[in-house]
Chains A and B, each alone.
Chain A
Amino acid sequence: MDYSFTKSQQELREKTAAFTAKEIPREVAREVDRSGKFPHDLMKKLGEQGFWKINIPKKYGGDDGTIVDLMVFFEEISKALPVLSWTAGDVLLYGNNILKVNGNEAQQEKYLPRLAKGELTFCFALTEPDAGSDAANIQMSAELDGDNYVLNGSKMFISGASVADIAVTNTRTGPHRTKGVTSFLVDTKAEGYSATPISKLGYKGSDTCEVYYKDVKVAPENILGGPECLNQGWHQMMRLLNGERLVLSACAIGIMGTVINECIAHVKNRKKRLGGGIRLQDTEHKIAEMATQMEAARQLAFYAAWMMTQGMEPVKETSMSKYFCADTGKKIALMGMEIMGAEGYAMQSSVQQFFRDIPILAIGGGTSQIQKNVIAKTLGL
């Protein structure tokens, strides 16, 4: 047994924490939340400091990191500005990781070096107006017309869709619910592609969009993995889920960390004001509970991540992690709102911002209910 992080993981954590300390003081985080604008500046700076190389293979100029490295990065970023972890996901997860896991060599060669340099962002287009939890109910059509596929339909809640260069788009290419799905690398500059951002409760700046495809032409070589991967889209996606669940877990853990720290500072301040070595057992116990639950969430997440690095397929554990981290995060954020009181309710407080951010983590990437479906299934039910 070994619970420690490697030296390079520790360095990555320090480097990421130094980045957020310098570049994302509270005013910057508040402004991104207020304006709801995609944080292009911060994304550029992340790229310049080499963060996009974390999970790119060495031969394409990357650091060849594992899921643990990714989680360390996402946790630290989420502590300062949760939405920046999502926009970073448009490079690290939906760019780098998708290509690494499912791309063919030509696609990897074409995109990975440019992703490493911060020249590209991707987005992942799966959800549709009528295919939410029932993700396999994909309606978007892709029909072969001459040399090209022609895509028609709409996608919903696609983060980064109006700023991305490539939209990884899952389409219906056969009648079978899962064996009739094909994933395309769609150039967002193609004619017929349009994306409209949606205003949301939190994670503002994520550029989450409704996306329309009207006769968008895509060449067969832009099927993810190449033409031979026709109708393999669902299977390809399954290979991404463990990583996605753990990255989302790390996002929740980062949020919990900041909420707890804010509460501790608040209570210390209150004790100082009240003076005389006062004990505030009610509040102190709440914080003790929050810290314990966060620790449990963290262990579950990194245990599942360790399993992944050992080449196991921890479907049960990643689902448990995603569900537990998101729901625990919601609980902790809510307790944080209670502890912070009126102070936490003001827009200048990061706690209300993180409280508005966190609920989507129990919805996106498979709701907590869907995770529980998966867990039950792995338990033989």
Chain B
Amino acid sequence: MPFANRVLVPLLCIGLAVSAAACAKKAAETPSTPAAQLSVTGLDLGRSVGGDKRVSEKVSDFHPNDVIYASVLTSGASQNAILRARWTFEDGQLVNESEQTIAPSGDAATEFHVSKPDGWPVGKYKVEVFLNGNPAQAKDFQVK
């Protein structure tokens, strides 16, 4: 065997082996199914919620003496996420704002509810939902 072959062939083999090992290590380090990032997938309004925190009947028109529920559906996981519901009246007058801190490991539902003992003024309202401070979903409704 010529000198070049005696030296180059083993070097080439070593190089290939190192490359293959590096690729294998990289593959092992990459998680096959990364945890899905938390996102808001739905926002429903209603007059009541069940044990699953979802509204029993979706409505967008309420009566002055109703308790108004907003059910926020989320998907994905998080160890610490803040959902905020902001309720406003007509030209943006703040009605109420509240937060719920959650640590879901999968699909979840979070309900926010508001009531007014002396009755809601008739008019147009809006509820906006924020996830970690970022606008996620919004819905308009009316009190008639």
A, B assembled together: no
Residues of B that sit less than 8 Å from A by CB: none
Residues of A that sit less than 8 Å from B by CB: none
